[in-house]
Amino acid sequence: MTDAVLRRGILAAGAAAAIPAPASAQGQGALAAFLAALASRRIEIIDLTQTLHPGTPVIQLPPPLANTEPFRMSEISRYDARGPAWYWNNFSCGEHTGTHFDAPIHWVTGRDLPDGATDTLPPARMIAPACVIDCSAQAAADERFVFEPRHILEWESRHGRIPAGSWVLMRTDWSKRSDPAAFLNMRADGPHVPGPSAAAVRLLVERDVNGWGVEAVGTDHGQAFSFEPPFPAHALLHGANKYGLASLTNLDRLPPTGAALITPPLKIRGGSGSPLRVLALVER
């Protein structure tokens, strides 16, 4: 049989069995266009996640408060007598370790929300647009930079009003502090770390954001224990059923508007948050 005959035979057999067209050729819909854009790299995927390891910095609360456990990993087997053909590990960590998601029930203000735990969050809120506010110059000049309503309003004067359901991400370049001590920046009077004022958080709630994301270890300012209310990013956002993202990186690679974030936390029953992989989709 010649190649041509063979090919006709295969094509005829395909037609007889009604083999569908490749998925990439199906439909003219939004999802097909999205997948085509991914395949052609017109949509780039940027990883906003820090690598988890035993040295991952975790928040340090003063006594008598209890603290989170660090990330730990132990080998079960590695192609050895314990398991000749496989490698795997056990790991453990606090829910709020490394790049992580803060769910509304994390804070007492959100404790009674019916959809506020990691297993009850609406999946529709796990993919959302992002507004990125560049505060890197301010944070470089002042380790205790306070993000205020005027920083939001100034951003909006250039990029338009923050759309409801958006993440607002504060870029500080804090993730470039690879030394854990410099990242946590603990001093005698508490951490010197940038974060939002209560008024800024109130404006975010007014904008009906999906949540607030930062590069530092937590969503609140290092001195937020002394703010009114204390820890406003936690108290006000979670009370309003808004989310938090902490220890993000690569925010310097995002445009001010137009990125989409994918942020599904682990589905821990009754969980207050979880480490997660945060992906940003950016159109080139």
Chain contacts with Mn ion (rule: CB under 5 A): 96, 102
Per partner kind, with CB cut-offs from 5 to 8 A, the member of ligand 23J, Mn ion, none near residue 275 is none
Per partner kind, with CB cut-offs from 5 to 8 A, the member of Mn ion, ligand 23J, none near residue 215 is none
Q: Which is nearer to Mn ion, 104 or 254 (CB)?
A: 104
Q: Which residues pair with 261 in a beta bridge?
A: 128, 280
- Give the nearest distance from C-beta 275 to ligand 23J in angstroms: 11
Per partner kind, with CB cut-offs from 5 to 8 A, the member of ligand 23J, Mn ion, none near residue 242 is none
- Give the nearest distance from C-beta 100 to Mn ion in angstroms: 5
- Give the nearest distance from C-beta 16 to ligand 23J in angstroms: 60
Q: What is the distance between the alpha carbons of residues 211 and 207, in angstroms, rounded to a whole number?
A: 10
Residues making contact with ligand 23J (CB under 6 A): 59, 61, 96, 102, 106, 218, 220, 231, 234, 246
Residue nearest to Mn ion (CB): 96
- Give the nearest distance from C-beta 17 to Mn ion in angstroms: 53
Residue nearest to ligand 23J (CB): 218
Gyration radius (Cα) of the chain, Å = 23
Per partner kind, with CB cut-offs from 5 to 8 A, the member of ligand 23J, Mn ion, none near residue 59 is ligand 23J
- Contact in structure between 252 and 243 (CB atoms under 8 Å): no
Q: What is the distance between the alpha carbons of residues 86 and 80, in angstroms, rounded to a whole number?
A: 8
Q: Which is nearer to ligand 23J, 78 or 277 (CB)?
A: 277
SS3 76: strand
Angle at 234 between CA 279 and CA 150, to 5 degrees: 80
Q: Which is nearer to Mn ion, 247 or 281 (CB)?
A: 247
- Give the nearest distance from C-beta 251 to ligand 23J in angstroms: 18
> Which of the following is catalytic: 96, 100, 106, 221?
106
Q: Which is nearer to Mn ion, 102 or 215 (CB)?
A: 102
Beta strands 100-102 and 186-187 are unpaired
Query: Whats the size of the chain, residue-wise?
Result: 284
- Contact in structure between 205 and 165 (CB atoms under 8 Å): no
Which of 119, 199, 133, 143 has its CA nearest to residue 166?
A: 133
Please say if 159 is a catalytic residue: no
Which of 46, 47, 67 has its CA nearest to residue 217?
A: 67
Q: Which is nearer to Mn ion, 135 or 218 (CB)?
A: 218
Q: Which residues pair with 91 in a beta bridge?
A: 73
Which residue is it, tokens 């808004």?
A: 242
Per partner kind, with CB cut-offs from 5 to 8 A, the member of ligand 23J, Mn ion, none near residue 220 is ligand 23J
- Contact in structure between 209 and 200 (CB atoms under 8 Å): no
Active-site positions? 106
